[in-house]
Each structure stands twice: as structure tokens, then as C-alpha cells.
Structure 1
Amino acid sequence: MSDTANLNAELFRQLSYIADDETYMKKALNFIKKLAMQKEAEAEATENASHLLSKEEALASFDQACKELKENLEGNLTFKSLEEALNEL
């Protein structure tokens, strides 16, 4: 039997001890709901974090932008106009 199956069996076994008491069942249900909300929040936070750049990636991107700006100011690189960039989209 897998660990998950064992945990499910144990959960139902423990719930069976309190199944005849509405107060304890409500407490158990509220706690499980809180756990489910916590899991959902953690999953959402993980998903949002995966879209963020790492510190190294952000610094490398900023460094590249600074180099390109310097080249533009020196006349070695020309930027597209806003209209040209928007037309590409």
C-alpha cells in the first residue's frame, strides 16, 4: 500500500472516532479547509515565482540594457522608434 493510501486510511480511521460528534466534525472540517486554502496559496505563490527573474537574470538584463544605451549614446547603435516597435507587435 502506498504512503498516500496509508495516510488516507488513517485519516478515515481517525474521523470515524469523531463521526458521531457534530462539534468535532465541524472542527475537523474547518481545519481541513484551512489546509486546502494554504495549499492553494502556496501553489499560486510557486506559480507566480516561476514567472519572476532570478537576481542574476535581472542583473544580466540590466547590464545588457546599460551596454546598449552606452552604444546608442556613442552612436554605435540605433534604437527603433516606438512606432516601429509597436508595428512589430
Structure 2
Amino acid sequence: MTTMELNAELFRQLSIIAEDESLMRKAVKAVTRLAKQKETEETEYIGKEEILKGIDAGLKEVKLTREGKLAPKLARDFLNEL
């Protein structure tokens, strides 16, 4: 089924139970649960280990720059990377 066909089928099924408040509450609850599940799946979380590695790498780069082993980036180059 295409998305449009699924959408039409969903509304057809909802129209069947539209007069029954109890069934409509169950339907809303089920759809809400599915929507929250989708939001959770789409949210990308960065783990603590990845965050700490990133901080560590940044601090090492700053230290190397201060010691003169790494040429500092020009602000223009930094903005171009962004």
C-alpha cells in the first residue's frame, strides 16, 4: 500500500469507531505511542564516551597549538569549515 492508501485506510477505520468515545481514546493512545516511538528512533544520542573523546581531542589540539607544533587556524578557515 502507498502512503496515501494507508492514510485513507486509517481514516476509514477511524470513521467506523468515531462514535465510540472509548475506542477513539484507545486509537488516539495507540497513535500517540507510535508517534513517540518514531521521535525516539529519529533522535540521535551521543554517548558519554564519544563526548569525552571529542573534548579530549579538542584539548590536545589546543595544547599543540600553544606549544607551536600546530599552526593556528585563521578565523576565515574556521568559518569556512563550519
TM-score with structure 2 setting the length: 0.65
- Offset at 1:85? 2.7
- 5+ unaligned residues in a row in structure 2: which ranges? 1-16
- 5+ unaligned residues in a row in structure 1: which ranges? 1-18
Partners of 1:88 and 1:55 in 2: CA distance: 25
* Structure index of larger Rg: 1
TM-score with structure 1 setting the length: 0.61
Q: Which runs of 4+ in 1 moved over 3 A?
A: none
Q: How does 1:10-89 map to 2 (within 5 A)?
A: 22=19, 25-48=20-43, 50=44, 52-88=45-81
Query: Pairwise CA RMSD of aligned residues?
Result: 1.9
